[in-house]
Amino acid sequence: MATNKIIVITAPSGSGKTTLVKRLLASTPQLMFSISACTRSPRPGEEHGKDYYFYDADTFQNLIAQNAFVEWEMVYTGKYYGTLIAEMNRIWDAQKSPLIDIDVQGALAVRNKYPNQCLTIFIQAPSIDELRKRLIARGTETPQTLEERIHKAEYELTFINQFDKTIINDNLDAAAEELNKIVTDFLKN
């Protein structure tokens, strides 16, 4: 009998969330990645139904009107992102627990909706300076988007106390191990 648990992971951009989530999924077969809906364009290599459900704005708004979302948000100007109720049910029906990769506001919204089933985890870089270095090294940002992300990171860090667990991603292997242990313990109980 599935217990309908949910793992919610959030982090300021550049903290290493994607890297850690990939490792966690590879080592924890009870988890299934919860595929969000969004209206941004796919990046090279991204696939509909694997990375996201890529919808146009009309389709997304129809889904909002049908109350199809656990939560939805305009994360960036004009770009909607949301967690579908049907996606959670698809994963629970497969006897797995959804792993949701989401921004801070979305994470708190999911927890409000499912207060007794969620483990919420905040992943943090060791410092803002280190976050900046990682974003520069990743090579995905312009000077302007880099500053936007740093600014958003400082804001998101003010919510850190609202999460069940926080992990400082300094040494990657140590952080991956800590994440694995926290999630395994939660799924066991």
Q: Which residues bind ligand ADP (CB under 6 A)?
A: 11, 13-19, 134, 137-138, 169, 172
Q: Which does 98 bind (CB under 5 to 8 A by kind): ligand 5GP, ligand ADP, none?
A: none
Q: Which does 137 bind (CB under 5 to 8 A by kind): ligand 5GP, ligand ADP, none?
A: ligand ADP
Length of the chain: 189
* Residue 125 neighbours by CB under 8 Å, 6+ apart: 12, 14, 15, 16, 131, 134, 168, 169
Q: Which does 14 bind (CB under 5 to 8 A by kind): ligand 5GP, ligand ADP, none?
A: ligand ADP
Q: Kindly state the smallest distance separating residue 46's Cβ from ligand 5GP, in Å.
A: 8
Instruction: To the nearest 10°, report the CA torsion of 177, 184, 153, 46.
Output: 90
> Nearer to ligand 5GP by C-beta: 71 or 150?
71
* Residue 123 neighbours by CB under 8 Å, 6+ apart: 9, 10, 11, 15, 16, 17, 20, 166, 167, 169, 175, 179
106 binds ligand 5GP (CB under 6 A): yes
DSSP state of 5: -
Return the CA Rg of the chain: 16
> Nearer to ligand ADP by C-beta: 120 or 169?
169
Q: Kindly state the smallest distance separating residue 136's Cβ from ligand 5GP, in Å.
A: 17
Q: Contact residues for ligand 5GP (CB under 6 A)?
A: 36, 40, 71, 73, 75, 81-83, 101-103, 106
